[in-house]
Amino acid sequence: MADPSAEQLLIDLVMNKHVTAWNIADGEWGRSRLDEQRGREWLRLKYFGNLHGDPLEAVKVARGGLQQSLMASRSGTFEETQQQSPFSRAAQRNMDTLLHAWVNEGETGFARVRAEVFAPGWETARSAEDPIRVVGDTGDCEERALEVRGAPDSETRVAAEWWYLYHTLGRSWKPEMHSTRSGKEEGVHFSVHDILVLPDSHRSVFFRLPW
């Protein structure tokens, strides 16, 4: 049987690696404990260079898992946790742009795009990002449904539902089924998560949809 402490150490190391990559993509050199130049080279050589399969899909999947893990840690409020780099939409744009350049043009493309992304004055040109909020009641039925506010698109709104579940329940639950359902009121729809709260409690969580 694997040593649980060794397994957790490996998980922490992998998670730290992904967090470092997103800090660099976000221009948060201090959080990465690397200076600007070393950070950019680390992103290219140690992160992009070690991605397996489709690099674009690998980064997307890793980001989603990282967001959920950070929410499950419950080290801050739901809104505070979103201040970390893996939730930054600017970091996502930078990561996608840099990775596309590296995949399509190699080191030359990466260097060119890197200079564009982090051109002088990039910090002041960045728009402020308000955290996504989840409002409502307990979410245990249609009448007390929750609602995601402030998501810029449907993909982020769906992700925020999962963030909320992880932040509320930590790791003490498992997904069973997710569905979109019509409500009792005409024209009202819900995103419904049927989950198992460990060890054996079944629960449904309702999020009212904006359409």
Q: What is the pLDDT of residue 200?
A: 94
Check whether 38 has a pLDDT greater than 70: yes
pTM score: 0.90
84 and 177 housed in the same domain? no
Residue 109 lies in domain = 4-125
45 and 109 housed in the same domain? yes
Per the structure block, which two tokens stand in for 104? 């399509």
pLDDT in tens, 94-137: 999 999 999 999 999 999 999 999 999 999 988 899 999 999 99
Last residue of a domain, one of 107, 125, 143: 125
Check whether 2 has a pLDDT greater than 60: no
Per the structure block, which two tokens stand in for 26? 């976000």
12 and 83 housed in the same domain? yes
110 and 165 housed in the same domain? no
115 and 147 housed in the same domain? no
168 and 110 housed in the same domain? no
47 and 121 housed in the same domain? yes
Check whether 154 has a pLDDT greater than 80: yes
Q: What is the pLDDT of residue 211?
A: 82
Q: How far is CA 38 from CA 19, 33, 59, 114, in A?
A: 16, 10, 20, 13
Q: What is the pLDDT of residue 9?
A: 53
Check whether 6 has a pLDDT greater than 90: no
* Whole-angstrom distance, CA of residue 157 vs CA of residue 75: 22
138 and 116 housed in the same domain? no
Last residue of a domain, one of 62, 92, 125: 125
What is the band of 15 on the pLDDT scale with cuts at 50, 70, 90? confident
70 and 108 housed in the same domain? yes
19 and 82 housed in the same domain? yes
Check whether 7 has a pLDDT greater than 80: no
116 and 137 housed in the same domain? no
CA angle (38 as vertex; 36, 39 as ends), nearest 5: 60
* Whole-angstrom distance, CA of residue 153 vs CA of residue 158: 9
What is the average pLDDT across 6-33?
Answer: 80
23 and 118 housed in the same domain? yes
Per the structure block, which two tokens stand in for 59? 């980064």
pLDDT in tens, 52-68: 889 999 999 999 999 99
Last residue of a domain, one of 97, 125, 153: 125
Quote the number of domains for the chain: 2
Q: What is the pLDDT of residue 31?
A: 86
